[in-house]
Amino acid sequence: MLLGKREIGKGKKNAVRARATLSGKGKKALDIEFDILLHRPIPENAQIQNVKLIRRRTGDQFKYHICLTVKIPEEPDKNNIYKLAVGIDPGFREEEARETRIDLREYMPLRVAYYAFSDPERNGGNISVNKEMADKASLYNEIKSATDKSAAELEQRLLPLLKGVVIPEGYEKKEGREKQIQAIINANRKSKTLSFEHTYKLAKWVRYDTEHGDQIFSKSLVTLLDVWLENNKHEYMGLHGLRRRLFLWRDEKFKIEASRLVKMAKQEKFIIAVENTKYERMIGVDKGTTDLSPQARANRMLAAPATFVSALKNAADRESVPFVKVPAQHTSKTCSNCHKVNRKLESEAEWICPSCGKEHDRDHNAAINIARLGLKIWNEQVEKQAGIAEKLY
């Protein structure tokens, strides 16, 4: 982490103060701070792409060199009229039909977004998650469902013991504890479902409390959670590691796909348009909901439309490609052929326009409308700025 620029030494050399974590996490992390002497200043608004650390021995000491690869984003040409745009319609849908058998674990490639151009003659395409990753995400959710059951079984014995707990003022601010402890205990006083992850954290906090002598929890509660923790800590670490690997893979996949689209947009000179909407509502699952299958939960985990749109925006800013957000109203229900709104359309993946008879894939049709609307908004802004400039001169 770069903390800011400074001048050091008698010669007032340019330096950047930096902090690095050598080991551990959170309160137990081992952090060091040091100065990086700059051979040349880092440009304003530069994005650091890569860092390479080189260590050389000089006598009985080591000398370190840090090579920073940076990119200076260029501002998009706001005076340029564009003739083409690509529209992105995030969402999630299995790309192939799947047999509905209870004893069959077969998961299909997952479409997480569709892109199409303002010119319908030009082919669009899918942003997809492959079958292997969909299967691993489903496996994660199956394991999580099983571990949540163990927490639910513990909950029946835990609730009576939690009801008598009194949390001292400022307890959650002490070292090694987190503010959620009050929320977790309050939630259980209201008889809400306790997840495996929250049970694990509660058990860790209770053990920490016992070791540090505060003793606000009863001996029965401490013994119960301590035994449960020993029996389940390996499952928690394995589950946590699998989730971390899935998220890292997903985010890397999104960055690659975003870079590909942005590179294409820069080379062929078109803009990128997306809906201005809260994508988390698209995949949101209320806490405590248990009626979704492992496959449905896996789809929501891997889709992450907000993460993909963020990666796309970062790549567009880096390459100075125009990025436009458009209103989300009726982009799926408007026919891209005759422009009539089909107000009776619900959640059908494919539909036929009642006005002109055109057959539509829902995502493809929406992406075309998003692209056209983004192109219209951008060019109107350019024309408006041009009109203002003419009046000034």
Tens digit of pLDDT for each residue in 34-93? 777 877 777 777 777 777 777 777 667 777 778 877 777 666 666 788 889 999 988 776
267 and 287: one domain?
A: yes
The structural domain count of the chain equals 2
- Do residues 142 and 10 share a domain? no
Look at residues 23, 40, 71 and tell me which one is the last residue of a structural domain. 71
The DSSP secondary structure of 212-270, one letter per residue, reads TT---S-HHHHHHHHHHHHHHHHHHHHHHHHHHHHHHHHHHHHHHHHHHHHHHHHHHT-
Do 304 and 347 fall within a single domain? yes
> Are 29 and 104 contained in the same domain?
no
Angstrom CA distances, 291 to 13, 90, 135, 359, stand at 62, 24, 19, 34
Closest among 85, 114, 124, 83 to 332, alpha carbons compared: 114
Do 218 and 342 have their domain in common?
Answer: yes
Shared domain check, 185 and 157: yes
Same domain, 18 and 149: no
Last residue of a domain, one of 24, 54, 71: 71
Tell me: do 183 and 45 sit in the same domain. Answer: no
**Same-domain status, 242 and 304:** yes
Here the tokens at position 185 are 């205990």
The candidate with the shortest Cα–Cα distance to 93, out of 109, 77, 115, is 109
Quote the domain boundaries for residue 201. Answer: 80-393
Q: Distance of CA 101 to CAs 11, 107, 109, 166, 203, Å?
A: 74, 12, 18, 49, 38
- Range from 5-14, 198-207, 290-299, 366-375 that averages highest in pLDDT: 366-375
Structure tokens at 175: 């070292």
Q: Give the rounded percent of residues in the chain with a pLDDT score beyond 70.
A: 77
Residues 298, 370 share a domain: yes
pTM of the full predicted structure? 0.66
**Residues 53, 99 within the same domain:** no
Q: For residues 105 and 63, which has the higher predicted lDDT (pLDDT)? A: 63
Last residue of a domain, one of 71, 99, 127: 71
Q: Are residues 277 and 333 in the same domain?
A: yes
